[in-house]
Amino acid sequence: AQSVSQHNHHVILSEAASLELGCNYSYGGTVNLFWYVQYPGQHLQLLLKYFSGDPLVKGIKGFEAEFIKSKFSFNLRKPSVQWSDTAEYFCAVRGAGNMLTFGGGTRLMVKP
């Protein structure tokens, strides 16, 4: 069975700080990897995804993530966060069965 682990449950940053959220998964086969964001009171929105090819993927709103196969990781990064990035971030893996397995989420708070 596949599983996803997000190491940081809560992150507090000041505006303009750099962000890196960790995501590790466990699954032996080919995976699709996703990062979703959930703003307060809203539904999930896709930030970026990796299926194949260049392991460094760029998403919306200045986010990027790097797939490192040897480390089973797919960390999310942003060089300079804004107050509007305050949200909860979910890493997800799709392997066997096509369903998504989500990590526990990281709640990010950006102080203005």
Partner 1 sequence: GAVVSQHPSWVICKSGTSVKIECRSLDFQATTMFWYRQFPKQSLMLMATSNEGSKATYEQGVEKDKFLINHASLTLSTLTVTSAHPEDSSFYICGPLMGGAGNTEAFFGQGTRLTVV
18, 77 contact by CB (below 8 A): yes
Nearer CB in complex with partner 1: 8/32? 32
Per residue in 54-86, is it b (16+ CB within 10 Å) or e — as a string? eeebebeeebbbbbeeeebbbbbebeebeeebb
Point out which residues pair with 99 in neighbouring strands.
Answer: none
Part of the chain binding partner 1 (CB under 8 A), chosen from 20-28, 59-67, 68-76, 99-107:
99-107
Part of the chain binding partner 1 (CB under 8 A), chosen from 12-20, 43-51, 62-70, 72-80:
43-51
Give me 32's structure tokens.
């699709």
Give me 91's structure tokens.
């890493």
Number of residues in contact with partner 1 under rule CB under 8 A? 20
Site string for partner 1, 2-41 (x = CB under 8 A): ------------------------------x-x-------
Sites of contact with partner 1 (CB under 8 A): 32, 34, 43-44, 46, 49, 51-52, 90, 92, 94, 97-105
